A and B are shown apart, each in its own frame.
Chain A
Amino acid sequence: MQKTLSINEPIFDLVSRDPEVKDIMIELGFQDIAKPGMLQTAGRFMTLAKGIKLKKIDIDTVKQTFRRHGFIIQE
């Protein structure tokens, strides 16, 4: 099944809808999301777009990884 994600939606919302997103993000190198309390607080303000910019992770890599897990990323 295809699932879609928006890069401008708070990470907290993405993960609440689908907990799998958290593991995929950790796999991509967004380690901070795993730290206690991060998701519930900073995660409400953090979006995938901001994370990609901050960590300087290639957006295509992010898209491909999510696609592999059955997601599609909207810009």
Chain B
Amino acid sequence: MSELINNREVHETEQTHRQNMLKEIIKELHAGKSVEEVKARFEEAVGDVTVAEISAMEHSLMTEEGIPVTEVQRLCSVHTAIFKGSIEEIHRSSKPEEQPGHPVHTFKLENREIEKLVNFRVELHKDKFRKSDDEGIIFKLLEDLGLLLDIDKHFSRKENLLFPYLEKYGIYGPTQVMWGVDDGIRSMIKEAKALLSGYTGNREEVVSALELIIKEVNEMVFKEENILLPMALDKLTEDEWVKIARESGTIGFCLAAPEKEWVPERNPEPVDAEAKEAESAGTPQGFIRFETGILSVQQLELIMNHLPVDLTFIDENDVVRYFSHGKERIFARTKAVIGRTVQNCHPPQSVHVVEKLLEDFKSGNKDAEDFWIQMKDKFIYIRYFAVRDEEGRYLGTLEFTQNIAPIRALEGQKRILSE
């Protein structure tokens, strides 16, 4: 509890009487009296003081009077009995997650819009479609599903910004399971869109696809708000929420966006100091001596970011160490992935592919592997290289991603003297 009240001053004179009464109550509890018996006296002692005051009193009971934490915790159970609230409610003077801009506030804001979209629009259009599958209603449903695809950003923020912190606290299972369900919903929406855009009169198939989407989306909202977010609020520190809020814009928002930047009530300095430190660490004055030349750290970083490719490097323990951040990254990366194992940065469905590849690199079976995919007007060439030292020891993997559509489109020749 004490960490929640680090910056509150206690006015000793005003508090002394109350503290004495509280101490008496603790003694009585210690002597075996029940909560019921001391309830009245507790109310008298505490009266209508603010929660902050209670916390401060408890703190001083612990630090100045040397009353052990366990004893003060007994008092908490008395709070609970009297105020009929949870201990967390009592000890949280204001709820940061209810302030606009807090990542939890934003997630919930988006959820309200998502609910409106699926439970009103999609539901209504689905019923109309069931009665008459004319072109107008198909168009409306396609429009709705297009909007709903935006849920990808909501999910991505959860997977790439929130999950890494939960993993830091040892929570893996639920995040992997949820990621799998997210992917399921993504593909359901895409499949329903495909069914509708190539509509061949399979009315029932479309209706049941839409019904499944509505059900799954609602369930996900429920799971996020009843399990995931409370669990995250329980684990993450305020500084971590600040970091998530700051990085959220990189991925984007779904149907609703935070109305303002969230500034925690308490002095937001720690993060600022850290950010400044990180910034100055990004442009240190040093030089790096390579076998073939010397570069300043700034030059090196700029070179990496000017290469027309996206680079990501994971070390021999599969931990993401670095990614370049040029102007147009093909696959979004956020700083939260740094220090995270690569297995946890991929959707569960494709993890086995990544693991097989790393296995082949580590065993020396392979030194490189290429993939290529068409994504709208981009043709993406993804290359993986095993990075080895002179002795051939595996030191990590380099991912090299490039849009080669413009290169594939080249014809004839353009020589330096052509113009």
**How many residues in B have their beta carbons less than 8 Å from beta carbons of A?**
14
In the assembled complex, the CB of A13 is this many whole angstroms from the nearest CB of chain B, namely 14
Among A14-22, A30-38, A67-75, the stretch that binds chain B is A30-38
Contact residues of B between 225 and 284, Cβ < 8 Å to A: 226-228, 230-231, 234
Q: Which residues of A contact B146 (CB under 8 A)?
A: none
Q: Are A45 and B173 within 8 A (Cβ)?
A: no
Given known A-B contacts A37-B171, A42-B227, A54 and B219 have beta carbons under 8 A apart: yes
Q: Are B231 and A45 within 8 A (Cβ)?
A: yes
Asked if A50 is at the interface of the complex by the 8 Å CB criterion, the answer is yes
Q: Which residues of A contact B173 (CB under 8 A)?
A: 35-38, 41-42
Asked if A3 is at the interface of the complex by the 8 Å CB criterion, the answer is no
Q: Are B172 and A45 within 8 A (Cβ)?
A: no
Residue of A36, A37, A46, A53 touching B227 (CB-CB under 8 A):
A46
Task: Give the CA-CA distance A31 to B222 in the complex, in Å.
Answer: 17
Task: Give the CA-CA distance A32 to B231 in the complex, in Å.
Answer: 16
Asked if A63 is at the interface of the complex by the 8 Å CB criterion, the answer is no
Specify which of B171, B172, B177, B227 lies most central, judged by the most chain A CB atoms within 10 Å of its CB: B227
Interface residues on A, range: 10 to 19
Task: Give the CA-CA distance A50 to B227 in the complex, in Å.
Answer: 9
Residue of A37, A50, A53, A54 touching B174 (CB-CB under 8 A):
A37
Q: Which residues of A contact B84 (CB under 8 A)?
A: none
Asked if B223 is at the interface of the complex by the 8 Å CB criterion, the answer is yes
Q: Are A45 and B230 within 8 A (Cβ)?
A: yes
Q: Are A38 and B177 within 8 A (Cβ)?
A: yes
Task: Give the CA-CA distance A38 to B177 in the complex, in Å.
Answer: 9
Task: Give the CA-CA distance A37 to B171 in the complex, in Å.
Answer: 7
Task: Give the CA-CA distance A45 to B230 in the complex, in Å.
Answer: 7
- The 8 A CB mask of B173-198 against A (1 = contact, 0 = none) is 11001000000000000000000000
Q: Are A35 and B231 within 8 A (Cβ)?
A: no
Q: Are A46 and B226 within 8 A (Cβ)?
A: yes
Q: Are A38 and B219 within 8 A (Cβ)?
A: no
Residue of A32, A35, A44, A54 touching B222 (CB-CB under 8 A):
A54
Residue of B177, B227, B230 touching A35 (CB-CB under 8 A):
B177
Q: Which B residue sits closest to A53, measured CB to CB? A: B222
Q: Are A41 and B222 within 8 A (Cβ)?
A: no
Task: Give the CA-CA distance A35 to B219 in the complex, in Å.
Answer: 18
Q: Are B231 and A44 within 8 A (Cβ)?
A: yes
Residue of A36, A44, A54 touching B223 (CB-CB under 8 A):
A54
Task: Give the CA-CA distance A37 to B222 in the complex, in Å.
Answer: 20
Q: Which B residue sits closest to A50, measured CB to CB? A: B226
Residue of B172, B219, B226, B230 touching A37 (CB-CB under 8 A):
B172
Contact residues of B between 189 and 230, Cβ < 8 Å to A: 219, 222-223, 226-228, 230
Task: Give the CA-CA distance A45 to B219 in the complex, in Å.
Answer: 16
Contact residues of B between 150 and 177, Cβ < 8 Å to A: 171-174, 177
Q: Which residues of A contact B227 (CB under 8 A)?
A: 42, 45-46, 50
Q: Are A41 and B177 within 8 A (Cβ)?
A: no
Can you give 12 contacting A-B residue pairs, CB < 8 Å?
A: A36-B173, A37-B174, A38-B173, A38-B177, A41-B231, A42-B174, A42-B227, A45-B227, A45-B230, A46-B227, A50-B227, A54-B219
Interface residues of B (CB under 8 A from A): 171-174, 177, 219, 222-223, 226-228, 230-231, 234
Besides A44-B231, A50-B226, 10 other A-B contacts (C-beta < 8 A): A32-B177, A37-B171, A38-B174, A38-B177, A41-B231, A42-B231, A45-B234, A46-B227, A54-B219, A54-B223
